[in-house]
Amino acid sequence: MNTRLINRGGIMLPGGYPYVDPKTNMRFDGFEAGGFYDQVAKIIQHRSSNPQLYPPGNPEYLETNFVANQLDEYQCQRFGGDARYCGQTSAEIERAASAQAAGVCQFCGGELEQRYCPTCSGQRVIGTRCKKCGSTL
């Protein structure tokens, strides 16, 4: 199962970045925090406010990389490991990023075209679409 997000920044995932803390059952709304790292900071702040469950003696639960990896895994479970959003290894993540930077689809190798925001008169790029297979990134 793919357990890491391909792209933590940039285009927001469908549904944002929701999260349920496993120890406190606190539900974090997917859109309230903003981007991926805003949500990570919010989770860390919540955990810091609950030292009885997240003691300072276990600092990994308050570290950005550890929490980011947990948020990655949660999102990929939510999407069932969908290869459009998740990848298994850092090599796959790097391959997808380099393919997108080269303007080719990571799934079929087709040419990518830019997608524009439909609500702001098409002046803002919101992602890309493959001309061959129709995948959106």
CA distance 65 to 124: 30
Q: Is 80 exceeded by the pLDDT of residue 38?
A: yes
pLDDT bin (cut points 50, 70, 90) of residue 20 is: very high
Non-local (6+) Cβ contacts of 7 within 8 A are: 96, 97, 137
Main-chain dihedrals φ then ψ at residue 23, nearest 5 degrees: -95, -30
51: in domain: yes
Residues 49, 82 within the same domain: yes
Residue 101 near residue 112, CB atoms below 8 Å: no
Residues 108, 48 within the same domain: no
pLDDT bin (cut points 50, 70, 90) of residue 1 is: low
136: in domain: no
Question: What pLDDT is recorded for position 19?
Answer: 96
What domain range is 8 assigned to?
A: 4-87
Which of these, 18, 16, 1, lies nearest to 92 by C-alpha position? 1
137: in domain: no
Q: Is 70 exceeded by the pLDDT of residue 92?
A: no
Question: What pLDDT is recorded for position 97?
Answer: 74
pLDDT bin (cut points 50, 70, 90) of residue 78 is: very high
Residue 112 near residue 129, CB atoms below 8 Å: yes
Dihedral sign of CA atoms 122, 128, 130, 134 in order: negative
